[in-house]
Chains A and B, each alone.
Chain A
């Protein structure tokens, strides 16, 4: 598709033989705020990681701006979940945001003045200029989330991929992030957000992907966010699959031996 930001074809991912994503197929538009929604364990974060090329795919492929990921990597900026890092790391807000300026080509060189200016601007955009020099463990959860977003802004990408940026943040952070997203959209950026709070979906997103291990629906929010699709995503028969997945996980069922499926 001409105007697509991301295309996903027949994508499947499994963790230790348990399928987490099955045959996902969709195309996302450019310049919109896209929500990927689904219940816990529906494979949302996995889908992001698959798009970013962070995990191996069982099948399928991903195109970013109609190209292979490796050719357009610097057009993607990733905001991981806040809890995935240890915030006790010896770094200030500025140090972390400057990491957004690290590129494959400049890692052996010193950062330039321009890098510092861009980092400063990014920090201002998320309203953390007062905390610029502060050790990152001394920030609130919402402020830490904003540090991650500022780091992504500093990357200067055209597509932003965020994993649950609204989890555990205070009201003022939520508002700051939302205002920022709208501003970014006006600048023509594409923003893809994993989100699990169904109440806020229609306020936040122009376009949604509804996911529960399988793709349930995707399209403009007002068309796709129907009772029927919600039922299919959050309730319904697919729930049985997620239950089985969680049983496998909880009881630590022995993994199947290799080659077993072929017999």
Chain B
């Protein structure tokens, strides 16, 4: 691996490939963000499949693999597919996903037929065309890269210039229309740069996998930010990292396609994001759940101590506690240890007792519980035997502001519906 990296930075041809892949994936990440936000994620896939016949046609008509002709051909069929999907969705009864599935497979079939013609002909130049299926970054020529760099620069420029337009039609098309923006024209422009982006993306990941390069970086980036410019930047960054890593890995072995490796890495990034992202990630969810569980356990234990004290039992043993409320012994031990650490409970060998601080805290929870029970019966007309269950949960959620409102609403009551004292 290390040798490969050194090779890419010392060999001028390999270095160019690296530049090419960087630009391709950055462009895909940026343009894909808008596809993602406009909920047109499948269209990218359809475009990619539809470029295939265009590339073949470009080759048939020009007789060369000159990227200009291949691009031109793919631009035409790519556009045709976008147009056809729109028309089918609007004018027929086919839903948009059906139209997309239909159009993309149809165009791909045409491409496959054309390719068989090319393979059958005597033109010896066709071998590379098959790389369009799964992508092979290493086959990029100097000309290819020049064309890609040029097109990418144009696409970047368009996105920067038209940023507000794209933002507006992605968020609220009707509003954009209402301020006089020609939405159709902007959508045309956006579709055009999407087709171009996919066309250059095919070089690295191939027809079958291009939509991943378009959509996965945006979907990942969305987890990390709520700001559109930042999302565009992150998306480009994720695209570039996967692109470059994919090229490194695939070049360690001869004839290994680039596309699948890039997609693997993109998938890996998504997986990491789902697990670790700051707010919506799996780990942060588990952590929140654990914190909530611990908070509830602590508050429940304090509450039981308070209730036992009301019955005259101030120094509590384990068995007295467990008589009052069932709880897993191990959890009870852990919770009591934590409460002792926090200074809410004092212990004298096997006897446990609320500290002064603990009494205040326990009274607070009992108060919330009983206030809520009272609120449910008085304001929401719950029956008295139906209120305990919900109060068991709500008592852990009530904030000081809600407490104030409850007290005001219930006029500082002194007894709950079961005629128990509400402590202040």
Contacts and interface: CB of A to CB of B under 8 A. Distances in A.
Contacts of A74: 179-180
Interface size class of B (residues with CB under 8 A): 20 to 34
Given A107-B164, A107-B165, A80 B174 contact: yes
Given A54-B178, A91-B226, A91-B228, A85 B172 contact: yes
Nearest to B177: A54
Interface residues of A, number: 28
Nearest to B38: A86
Contacts of A209: none
Contact of B179 (A49, A89, A103): A103
- The winner among B39, B172, B222 for most chain A CB atoms within 10 A is B172
Contacts of B252: none
Interface in A59-113: 70, 73-74, 76, 78, 80, 84-86, 89-92, 95-96, 99, 102-104, 107-108
Interface string B357-377: 000000000000000000000
Given A73-B179, A90-B225, A80 B164 contact: no
A164 to B, nearest CB: 14
Interface in B203-253: 222, 225-228, 230-231
A52 interface: yes
Contact of A90 (B161, B165, B181, B226): B226
B171 interface: yes
A102 B186 CA distance: 15
B226 A76 contact: no
Nearest to B225: A90
B174 A104 contact: no
Contact of B37 (A76, A89, A135): A89
Nearest to B227: A90
B179 A84 contact: no
A78 B175 CA distance: 7
A154 to B, nearest CB: 11
Interface in B120-170: 161-162, 164-165, 167-168, 170
A52 B161 CA distance: 27
B228 A52 contact: no
B179 A102 contact: yes
A84 B228 contact: no
Contacts of B179: 73-74, 102-104, 155
Nearest to A77: B178
Given A107-B164, A135-B226, A80 B175 contact: yes
Given A92-B226, A102-B164, A84 B172 contact: yes
B238 to A, nearest CB: 15
Interface string A34-65: 00000000000000010011100000000000
Given A89-B171, A90-B231, A104 B181 contact: yes
Interface of B: 37, 39, 161-162, 164-165, 167-168, 170-172, 174-175, 177-181, 222, 225-228, 230-231
25 contacts: A52-B177, A52-B178, A74-B179, A76-B178, A78-B178, A80-B172, A80-B178, A84-B172, A84-B174, A85-B172, A89-B37, A89-B228, A90-B227, A90-B228, A90-B231, A91-B171, A91-B227, A91-B228, A96-B171, A99-B171, A103-B179, A104-B181, A107-B162, A108-B161, A155-B179
Given A73-B178, A107-B181, 16 more contacts: A52-B177, A54-B174, A78-B174, A78-B178, A80-B172, A84-B172, A89-B228, A90-B222, A91-B167, A92-B227, A99-B175, A104-B180, A104-B181, A107-B162, A135-B226, A155-B179
Interface of A: 49, 52-54, 70, 73-74, 76, 78, 80, 84-86, 89-92, 95-96, 99, 102-104, 107-108, 135, 151, 155
6 A-B pairs with the lowest CB-CB distances in the bound complex, closest first: A78-B178, A135-B226, A73-B180, A107-B164, A89-B171, A90-B228
